[in-house]
Structure 1
Amino acid sequence: MRPTQRMLGGGETPVGRFNKYLGGWGNFGGLKQKGIITYGISSNRQNPFAGAVHDAIFNTWRRFSGQVLYIAPPFITAYYVMDWAIHRNEYLNSKAGRAEFADQEE
């Protein structure tokens, strides 16, 4: 069976009589590869923040709406429990609260 075009790119490990593999891990410095195309753009032609504000708004909304039902109910519950506890503590330490519960002290 004949190796694929990728295996014929060069390297050190032999593939029998059909050339060599691309190379071992970290050792890709074999023969020049064919068929690899790279594109570039001049740095003064790039706009790195193109659409950043628009994407940030909609991505933030998407992430918020996906997580709000997991986060909001425990925080709302904790707020109301803490609010009740603070008001109850203030009442029990007031004159009226002490008078109402004075006979229940241990």
Structure 2
Amino acid sequence: MRPTQALRSGGGDVPLGRYNKYLGTWGNFGGYKQRGIITYTLSPNRQNPMAGVVHDAIFNTWRRFSKQVLYVAPPFIAFYYAMSWATERNHYLNSKEGRKEFSDSE
């Protein structure tokens, strides 16, 4: 370690920047002061956290539903028809007519 870096560190290892420039300690980096940043705040007791909740919920729900329905509905419809066909076929095969028709094939 170079002695100049030890003297700058103030008790801890503080890295030098990319161009061997002293960066400063944590929370006090040696850069320029930032200027031109304006922040606006509104007091918490002046805010309305429920503003537009019902309106946004209705339209946001409809927007999300309409975007996803074509991905979700066709597999559910296909599965429903396949299950209803299988259920009806099972009931037929276990009925008197089904057993009579397919009794010799087993």
Partner in structure 1 of residue 54 of structure 2: 53
The correspondence of residues 4-15 of structure 1 with structure 2, limited to 5 A, is 13=17
Matched, 1:66 2:67: yes
User: Structure 1 length as normaliser, TM-score?
Assistant: 0.69
The correspondence of residues 86-105 of structure 1 with structure 2, limited to 5 A, is 86-105=87-106
- Structure 1, unpaired ranges of 5+: 1-11
Question: For 2:28, what is the secondary structure of its paired residue?
Answer: coil
Q: Identity of paired residues, percent?
A: 66
Question: For 1:76, what is the secondary structure of its paired residue?
Answer: helix
User: Structure 2 length as normaliser, TM-score?
Assistant: 0.69
Deviation beyond 4 Å, 4+ runs, structure 1: 12-15
The correspondence of residues 76-91 of structure 1 with structure 2, limited to 5 A, is 76-91=77-92
Q: Which has the higher contact order (CA 8 A, sep 6+)?
A: 1
C-alpha change, 1:95 and 1:103, in structure 2 (3 Å) is same
Distance (whole Å) between structure 2 residues aligned to residue 28 and residue 95 of structure 1: 86
C-alpha change, 1:37 and 1:28, in structure 2 (3 Å) is farther
Aligned AA for 1:83? S
- Structure 2, unpaired ranges of 5+: 1-15
Q: How many residues align?
A: 88
- Cα displacement string for residues 87-106 of structure 1 (whole angstroms, at most 9, x for unaligned residues): 1001101111101111111x
Q: Aligned Cα RMSD in Å?
A: 2.7
